[in-house]
A and B are shown apart, each in its own frame.
Chain A
């Protein structure tokens, strides 16, 4: 199905997150039935060599989740979880090996690079590294201008639009002729956000946007993202490893481990009552800035296995304190634990009983 250049994006109205997240049952059901993004059984495998039998890195190995409109969904996991690859696969920056990516009801999976162009206006990405995500040889005006020019936006009022975008992210419009190295890390990150906003997207993948920044600057950028999401009605996928930040910012959270989703659901719910053993261990391991906070540490034994040779069945079973033989048999299906709360574990009942 080929889509020609679309009319302006759908949800630009300011929508209060609270009502969509905690509204009445039917309103919520209707809202969830038409998520902005639906990922079904996404797989991304990277070959390690050129031979036909070269081992394959199963970075993402069967991931399904929704991103409802006007929400911020957090995607958390440790190294090897596949969260970064997932974020990039959604924007087709890496090729998916299998699975469906439905954006606003349209299946993007089989689109060619040329067909993707109009969709690239609607989905953008902000990167982790504020130093390497901007071309050091382009001025700020050129960087943002390129975004506008690629999609032929604001061509008659280009300079004004660039100034608008800079101010929107809290930067001085007079600095448009400067080059990236003249800005601090936090400012560079803002430039990256301005670039993403230039095409007026509905959806932004924020790939660990604050991990490389100082703590005091992180708060500045997080507040900016929160404001933008609210004011522009954006939908965001926030990829992160800092659980506290996800708790603060995200409406829903998806917990990944070794290419699979272990648990997903509303943030408050998952953090207050984590069901999956990995989620529990992860939350208990996160350092809390309060020396008097009670600590019931669940220490996992061993290391994260290699994504080239993941364990059979449930990939977490080699480190799970509740692992049993049944866990090796098949990948656990996502089991519903409550409204929009899914857990992939076959031994939940036994674990709860003990």
Chain B
């Protein structure tokens, strides 16, 4: 009789999960790409050959060369350095959004999954939020809050909260009925401990998987918002603002748009593939051990 617990690996075998992950080539490549991107982002000041803000009108709109690997933009700024610094911001935005969405989503999901009366209200709230297309909701929130980096993070965090809350709620509903939770109740374990130790610990896997997807969506969304001009202000280098400002030079100096675009594609794709790999590794492993 095999029970399907919502994707959990046994505790204490994180290394095995990692080993299984890297066994898949796509995941391995994605991990390497992500590590490189994150490292570049973190070490931006040391790694970028030029100051991303330095103007050099003489060198404007130069194509990729051995000096400027990705060429220069309309103000003569080195595109490669800007891509690296932009990555810093884009990845930071993505990461912050994941944290915010997780905190809100886990809280909402646990409450909805655990307390039947609260569920009615919270589920409707989640459904209402998910009824809006992500970008529109994000635009509306940024418009309401005012365009700044912090507000973009807050807006996107709210936009992606329902996704996580749903997953947490669904898993909570299942875990709540499992014998080990009943055993805890039979022992007299207080409810708050059941929620934090028994339920939450078993939610790590679905949260991790959703988290990687939200990371990817957030990067894309921020780029989209900035591209539309409703996100971060255009002089701050993020991948989105770079594509936005590169629009007018399409056909003339494509490199201004292409390289940030490739960066977005690489990071989003890697995150998605990592998320897929995580999901595959964490779910069937469980079935195998049962």
Q: Say if A and B assemble together.
A: yes
Listed in ascending order, the chain A residues whose CB lies under 8 Å from chain B are 88, 91, 93, 116-117, 120-121, 124-125, 127-129, 131-139, 146-147, 150-151, 177-182, 192, 195, 199, 212
Q: B190 contacts which chain A residues (CB < 8 A)? A: 150
A134-B188 contact given A179-B13, A180-B10, A182-B10, CB 8 Å threshold: no
Residues A199 and B187 in contact, CB atoms below 8 Å apart = yes
Cβ-closest chain A residue relative to B200 = A137
Residues A212 and B12 in contact, CB atoms below 8 Å apart = no
Which of B9, B182, B186, B290: most chain A Cβ within 10 A?
B186
Which of A91, A125, A131, A177: most chain B Cβ within 10 A?
A131
A117-B10 contact given A135-B198, A138-B197, CB 8 Å threshold: no
A40 → chain B closest CB, angstroms: 22
Residues B180 and A147 in contact, CB atoms below 8 Å apart = no
Q: B183 contacts which chain A residues (CB < 8 A)? A: 125, 127, 133-134, 192, 195
Question: What total count of A-B pairs have CB within 8 Å?
Answer: 87
Residues B11 and A179 in contact, CB atoms below 8 Å apart = yes
What is the size category of the interface that chain B forms with chain A?
Answer: 20 to 34
Residues A120 and B188 in contact, CB atoms below 8 Å apart = yes
Cβ-closest chain A residue relative to B202 = A137
A136-B8 contact given A117-B188, A146-B184, CB 8 Å threshold: yes
Residues B187 and A147 in contact, CB atoms below 8 Å apart = yes
Residues A93 and B12 in contact, CB atoms below 8 Å apart = no
Cβ-closest chain B residue relative to A120 = B188
A132-B180 contact given A139-B11, A179-B12, A212-B1, CB 8 Å threshold: yes
| A88, B186: Cα distance in complex, Å | 9
A138-B179 contact given A151-B188, A180-B10, CB 8 Å threshold: no
Q: A146 contacts which chain B residues (CB < 8 A)? A: 184, 187, 189, 197
A114 → chain B closest CB, angstroms: 10
Q: A88 contacts which chain B residues (CB < 8 A)? A: 182
| A253, B108: Cα distance in complex, Å | 47
Residue in A116, A117, A132, A151 whose CB lies within 8 Å of B178: A132
A137-B10 contact given A127-B182, A150-B189, CB 8 Å threshold: yes
14 residue pairs A–B, Cβ–Cβ below 8 Å = A124-B186, A125-B183, A125-B186, A127-B182, A131-B290, A132-B3, A135-B184, A135-B202, A136-B5, A137-B202, A137-B204, A139-B12, A146-B187, A179-B13
B172 → chain A closest CB, angstroms: 14
A234 → chain B closest CB, angstroms: 16
Residue in A150, A180, A212 whose CB lies within 8 Å of B187: A150
| A127, B177: Cα distance in complex, Å | 13
A127-B13 contact given A93-B185, A132-B3, A136-B202, CB 8 Å threshold: no
Residues A138 and B11 in contact, CB atoms below 8 Å apart = yes
4 closest A-B pairs by beta carbon, nearest first, are A181-B10, A120-B188, A133-B179, A137-B201
| A133, B198: Cα distance in complex, Å | 12
B195 → chain A closest CB, angstroms: 13
A24 → chain B closest CB, angstroms: 37
| A146, B290: Cα distance in complex, Å | 24
> Which label, helix, strand, loop or mixed, suits the secondary structure of the A interface?
loop
Residues B179 and A127 in contact, CB atoms below 8 Å apart = yes
Q: A182 contacts which chain B residues (CB < 8 A)? A: 10
| A224, B202: Cα distance in complex, Å | 31
A192 → chain B closest CB, angstroms: 7
Q: B198 contacts which chain A residues (CB < 8 A)? A: 135
Q: B188 contacts which chain A residues (CB < 8 A)? A: 116-117, 120-121, 150-151
Cβ-closest chain B residue relative to A177 = B12
B173 → chain A closest CB, angstroms: 15
The answer to the question of B128 belonging to the interface, with a C-beta cut-off of 8 Å to chain A, is no
Residues A138 and B182 in contact, CB atoms below 8 Å apart = no
| A307, B220: Cα distance in complex, Å | 54
Q: B10 contacts which chain A residues (CB < 8 A)? A: 136-137, 179-182
| A8, B8: Cα distance in complex, Å | 39
Which parts of B13-46 form the interface with A (CB within 8 Å)?
13
Cβ-closest chain A residue relative to B290 = A131
The answer to the question of B2 belonging to the interface, with a C-beta cut-off of 8 Å to chain A, is yes
Q: A117 contacts which chain B residues (CB < 8 A)? A: 188
Q: B184 contacts which chain A residues (CB < 8 A)? A: 135, 146
Residues B180 and A135 in contact, CB atoms below 8 Å apart = yes
| A137, B11: Cα distance in complex, Å | 4
| A151, B201: Cα distance in complex, Å | 22
A132-B179 contact given A138-B201, A181-B289, CB 8 Å threshold: yes
Q: B180 contacts which chain A residues (CB < 8 A)? A: 132-135
Which of B3, B180, B189, B286: most chain A Cβ within 10 A?
B180
Q: A212 contacts which chain B residues (CB < 8 A)? A: 1
Q: A128 contacts which chain B residues (CB < 8 A)? A: 179
Q: A136 contacts which chain B residues (CB < 8 A)? A: 5, 8-11, 202, 286
B25 → chain A closest CB, angstroms: 27
